């Protein structure tokens, strides 16, 4: 029987790829990639010629059984996402669950993920925190925010740049304008930036400085 490897890839800076990750990807029989075009650039950079197969949120339900069968037949398969650690707001959970259910060994390598540096950079308490990922777009969004109104742990969210102002405004309504928070964007890239302040201050800042790039929001818990 083979093995499933979950392999983190850089969230921006290609130098954040680990030696072990490169080794695993080179030795695997197959690499499952969220977007083979995006991952192709990474593999070319590190001279990795392992075959790739597309595995993303739109087809993972259909491909899981076949992948499990291949691993049980002896293949070692590595799963990567476009950036960061698989299954963290990316495909990976369904396949991992299926492999565990079939008694297949699953190994997740340590490596890049966006929310950890954003949390540490924020200056907010990080001994206890809750990772919320992306909030629901429409249905359930307000309900989810209301449920977090009494949360005392530091909260971590992912958000797209064009929705940041709307989300900051909603956060003010639910958590209060004076709640401390931080917004990190373009982590590990050339224009990396972390802005800290109250929710009101952050709303004012990004109202005049439209954000670009991937964003991680960190919000203090209720005192």
Confidence of residue 64 (pLDDT cuts 50, 70, 90): very high
Q: Worst-scoring range by mean pLDDT, 54-63, 106-115, 174-183, 206-215?
A: 54-63
Residue range(s) of every CATH 3.40.1010.10 domain in the chain: 3-108
Using CA atoms, how far apart are residues 113 and 16, in angstroms rounded to an integer?
A: 10
Q: In the predicted model, what is the mean pLDDT of the chain?
A: 96
Using CA atoms, how far apart are residues 181 and 203, in angstroms rounded to an integer?
A: 11
What integer pLDDT is reported at residue 116 of this predicted model?
96
Chosen CATH of 115-219 out of 3.50.50.60, 3.40.50.300, 3.40.50.720, 3.30.950.10: 3.30.950.10
Residue range(s) of every CATH 3.30.950.10 domain in the chain: 115-219
Beta strand 3-6 with 77-80 is parallel
Using CA atoms, how far apart are residues 174 and 168, in angstroms rounded to an integer?
A: 10
Q: What is the mean pLDDT of residues 139-155?
A: 95
What integer pLDDT is reported at residue 135 of this predicted model?
96
Asked whether residue 115 carries a pLDDT value surpassing 90, the answer given is yes
Using CA atoms, how far apart are residues 104 and 121, in angstroms rounded to an integer?
A: 37
**Is residue 118 within 8 Å of 129, Cβ to Cβ?**
no
Cβ count near 149 (within 10 Å): 11
Residue 7, helix vs strand vs coil: coil
Cβ count near 83 (within 10 Å): 22
Task: Pull the structure tokens for residue 110.
Answer: 């340590």
- Return the CATH class of domain 3-108: alpha beta
27 phi/psi in degrees, rounded to 5: -90, -15
Q: What does pTM read for this prediction?
A: 0.92
Burial class (CB in 10 A: 0-12, 13-18, 19+), 43: buried
Confidence of residue 117 (pLDDT cuts 50, 70, 90): very high
What integer pLDDT is reported at residue 152 of this predicted model?
98
């Amino acid at each position: 029987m083979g093995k499933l490897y979950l392999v983190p890839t850089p969230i921006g800076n290609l130098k954040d790829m680990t030696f072990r990750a490169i080794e695993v990807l080179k030795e695997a029989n197959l690499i499952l990639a969220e977007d083979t075009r995006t991952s192709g650039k990474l593999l070319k950079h590190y001279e990795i010629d392992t075959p790739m197969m597309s595995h993303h949120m739109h087809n993972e339900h259909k491909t899981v059984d076949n992948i499990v069968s291949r691993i049980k037949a002896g293949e070692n398969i590595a799963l990567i996402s476009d950036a960061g650690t698989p299954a963290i707001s990316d495909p990976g959970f369904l396949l991992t669950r299926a492999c565990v259910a079939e008694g297949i060994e699953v190994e997740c390598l340590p490596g890049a993920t966006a929310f950890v540096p954003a949390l540490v950079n924020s200056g907010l308490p990080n001994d206890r925190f809750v990772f919320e990922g992306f909030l629901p777009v429409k249905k359930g969004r307000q309900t989810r925010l209301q449920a977090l109104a009494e949360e005392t742990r530091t909260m971590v969210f992912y958000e797209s740049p064009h929705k940041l102002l709307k989300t900051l405004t909603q956060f003010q309504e639910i958590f209060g304008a004076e709640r401390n928070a931080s917004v990190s964007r373009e982590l590990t890239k050339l224009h990396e930036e972390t802005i800290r302040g109250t929710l009101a201050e952050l709303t004012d800042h990004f109202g005049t400085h439209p954000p670009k790039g991937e964003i991680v929001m960190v919000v203090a818990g209720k005192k």
